[in-house]
Structure 1
């Protein structure tokens, strides 16, 4: 519910800025930056918070706070004091609360399920995330068109209240929660999390592969819609259909992830997923105008998303199974911080390549860079993993098959 709410206000806030307040393009750009900046600045502190405090109260508190922040927009509108700076403040607060909530909600999983069920649980969560993200985006667009952007935010606020109620019903394992909730100072906690990820022979290549994947994907995504609209002559309906079909791939990948790992092993699923992601980017490079090529791109996008979800849930499950309980949030947020920080760099790289050469060159470079993550994992101990990590009979933690 919280993710669906995030998708709804992601649609509604820019509409309020443009249609209600008459914001300029520069102001809309700043609003988008205000919404995404907290992911970089607060990812690491959020990891410490997630490890320092019980995660369920963090999830409930951030949902309740987000409900109040979202409701401030229609309240200010009714009072006649709504302005663009108010939207900046709302976007910043919502971005910060989202970072805190996700740091706790992702890392709470090892407190809820046994290690043997971790991958299946992550696959189900990925399926729910894909469904909520898609439903939130399309549903948000529909609701905004039906009742208006300002009134739609009342429903957005309600979704956060429902999410808070759902989070309150979660009952983590008392033993696991006690192990995960050890007090730690902020700066020392951040250093400990970074050090753990960068020194661990399994965590390090996985996180670095995610970072490289995000950088390559950021280059391609920068000009994905531009290429469809400009070079391939698609209209907004065609773009929407491509995005919709692509999103369905996430549900397929989540449904197949555990079966593929059981049959072929985690290493093969991760490596094949990363390679499939790179290969399925090729149609965008050679496509020509016409509905047939749009269909090919949409189908390739669905396969890419399925491969990404299957590989991503497998990586996350391995990392959670191997990570000590007291470092779950910080390990997760270290990768979030690195990935978020490279998104801006990827967009700037794409712009530089397009300015110096062409948009097609930027897409080509991004597609080729998608091969790097698979190379990193092939050169790491992950290549030898034939099964998911299993609990050790001793108290030393999980072992790597």
Structure 2
């Protein structure tokens, strides 16, 4: 696969160094190279603004994300206020929504590599619309129960995993390689806006319409997403080769083995997993610290959360320009380091009004850095990965991240029990440095521009003949 490497990294303001000698049969790709998929296909790249498939994808995914925020608010409200659920039942309801991400992540990657991604997206959206509509119908006729909410949460979680496996991996099939990073930046920006608006909007809609009726809007959002997916026209020239993984276990192992052995994919995925683990420790006690040690109150907590989330939109807007100016390695390294630095205010804050301005500002900067670094690493992984492994490589990352989240929460609890909540926050903030260290000692730190050469297909025994 083509990689753009330079040794050493250019200094500030200096011209980008030319890449070193290629390894094996890799083509030499310079920052001014014109080698890319579209050239190989004999067709010009379609600009994002004229790419109808990308617009349909972008709208559909943003709408369904905003709609999903409604059931994220409505299901717990129905459980507590309508069905008198106990704290233990509420905890099980939350777990039911997250368990499928860990259990099904790897099989979902195989399914997405095996079957047309567009059909998976449409099918999961239509199924989710039907599943969500069960709740208001059963609530209206008086047969809704907590176990039924468990089933709905589990099914929605499973459908979400399958949908996301296909929706992330389909981007290289509808966007030219030269536009991959701008596309991911726009996706991240839309998702940040939809997530923030959806969280507050979901609370407002549930308050105005009631939890049961509000779920009809969520069902409609899935239908809009399915219609948008039907408008997507993946490029057949960019799809995976005809060979498809034959056995589930062998196909899963092939995807995991590729990620763990590839010198570029491995540090990218492990750094993301390390960031998720550190963030899991900090977020376990983030709200707790604001409400107790800093006396923020619910209004202050809402302000901090809202401003912090808004930083993601800023990061998405500047991500492409930062990579064009400084290169992907510097953007990712700086982003991960900024994540650690911006966590310091929470450690030193006191219950004074000024900190309710400092902490949201630091949080917004941290989120902006995370989105800029995150869109860059996702674009790199998509561009470096052979098409027949796109979904499995992505889902290997999802599996690691989701598996580490409960471990991070347990680690935070253990540190707090042995020492203090503040000690857990310090440990999590220090661990934010690990992702940057992983990238620094890897070939990723020599990347000065996004790769443009098409990756080499991988042949393995997991593929059918």
C-alpha displacement at 1:184, in angstroms?
3.3
Q: Distance in 2 between matches of 1:57 and 1:200?
A: 30
Q: Per-residue CA shift, 1:20-43, capped at 9, x if unaligned?
A: 101000000000000011000000
CA contact (8 A) 1:51 1:181 kept: no
Determine which of 222, 238, 250 is the counterpart of 2:312: 250
Question: Which structure has the larger Rg?
Answer: 2
Q: Are residues 1:344 and 2:406 paired?
A: yes
CA contact (8 A) 2:386 2:456 kept: no
Q: Flag the 1:22–1:306 CA change in 2: closer, same or farther, 3 A.
A: same
Q: Per-residue CA shift, 1:130-178, capped at 9, x if unaligned?
A: 1111121111000000010111001111111011101111110012235
CA contact (8 A) 2:240 2:387 kept: no
Residue 75 of structure 1 corresponds to 137
Q: Flag the 1:311–1:180 CA change in 2: closer, same or farther, 3 A.
A: farther
Q: Distance in 1 between matches of 2:193 and 2:165?
A: 20
C-alpha displacement at 1:290, in angstroms?
2.2
Q: Per-residue CA shift, 1:197-237, capped at 9, x if unaligned?
A: 00000000111111111000000000000000000001111
Residue 290 of structure 2 corresponds to 228
Q: Distance in 2 between matches of 1:310 and 1:178?
A: 28
CA contact (8 A) 2:124 2:159 kept: yes
Q: Distance in 1 between matches of 2:284 and 2:210?
A: 29
Determine which of 236, 241, 245 is the counterpart of 1:174: 236
SS in 2 for 1:130: helix
Q: Distance in 2 between matches of 1:289 and 1:162?
A: 45
C-alpha displacement at 1:291, in angstroms?
2.1
CA contact (8 A) 1:54 1:177 kept: no
Q: Distance in 2 between matches of 1:396 and 1:44?
A: 22
Q: Flag the 1:347–1:44 CA change in 2: closer, same or farther, 3 A.
A: same
What do you get for the CA RMSD once the two structures are aligned? 1.1
CA contact (8 A) 1:116 1:391 kept: no
Q: Distance in 2 between matches of 1:178 and 1:207?
A: 22
Q: Distance in 2 between matches of 1:378 and 1:13?
A: 43
Residue 136 of structure 1 corresponds to 198
C-alpha displacement at 1:396, in angstroms?
4.2
Q: Distance in 1 between matches of 2:245 and 2:103?
A: 22
Superposed counterparts of 1:103-122, under 5 Å: 103-122=165-184
SS in 2 for 1:391: coil
Q: Flag the 1:315–1:275 CA change in 2: closer, same or farther, 3 A.
A: same
TM-score of the aligned structures, taking structure 2 as reference length: 0.84
Q: Distance in 2 between matches of 1:183 and 1:39?
A: 21
Q: Are residues 1:283 and 2:345 paired?
A: yes
Determine which of 90, 96, 109 is the counterpart of 2:152: 90
Q: Are residues 1:313 and 2:393 paired?
A: no
Q: Are residues 1:359 and 2:400 paired?
A: no
SS in 2 for 1:259: helix
Q: Flag the 1:57–1:349 CA change in 2: closer, same or farther, 3 A.
A: same
Gaps of 5+ in 2: 1-62, 458-465
CA contact (8 A) 1:51 1:180 kept: no
SS in 1 for 2:84: coil
Gaps of 5+ in 1: none
Q: Distance in 2 between matches of 1:297 and 1:200?
A: 38
Q: Are residues 1:145 and 2:207 paired?
A: yes
Superposed counterparts of 1:5-16, under 5 Å: 5-16=67-78
CA contact (8 A) 1:51 1:327 kept: yes
Residue 161 of structure 2 corresponds to 99
CA contact (8 A) 1:119 1:317 kept: yes
Determine which of 382, 385, 394 is the counterpart of 1:332: 394
Q: Distance in 1 between matches of 2:234 and 2:110?
A: 19
Q: Distance in 2 between matches of 1:178 and 1:269?
A: 30
C-alpha displacement at 1:294, in angstroms?
1.1
Q: Distance in 2 between matches of 1:315 and 1:331?
A: 13
C-alpha displacement at 1:67, in angstroms?
0.4
CA contact (8 A) 1:48 1:184 kept: no
Q: Flag the 1:206–1:180 CA change in 2: closer, same or farther, 3 A.
A: farther
Residue 66 of structure 1 corresponds to 128
Q: Distance in 1 between matches of 2:402 and 2:242?
A: 25
Q: Distance in 2 between matches of 1:391 and 1:260?
A: 21
CA contact (8 A) 2:308 2:367 kept: yes
TM-score of the aligned structures, taking structure 1 as reference length: 0.97
Residue 103 of structure 2 corresponds to 41
Q: Per-residue CA shift, 1:295-339, capped at 9, x if unaligned?
A: 100000000000000000000000000100010000000000000
Determine which of 335, 356, 361 is the counterpart of 1:273: 335
Higher helix share: 1
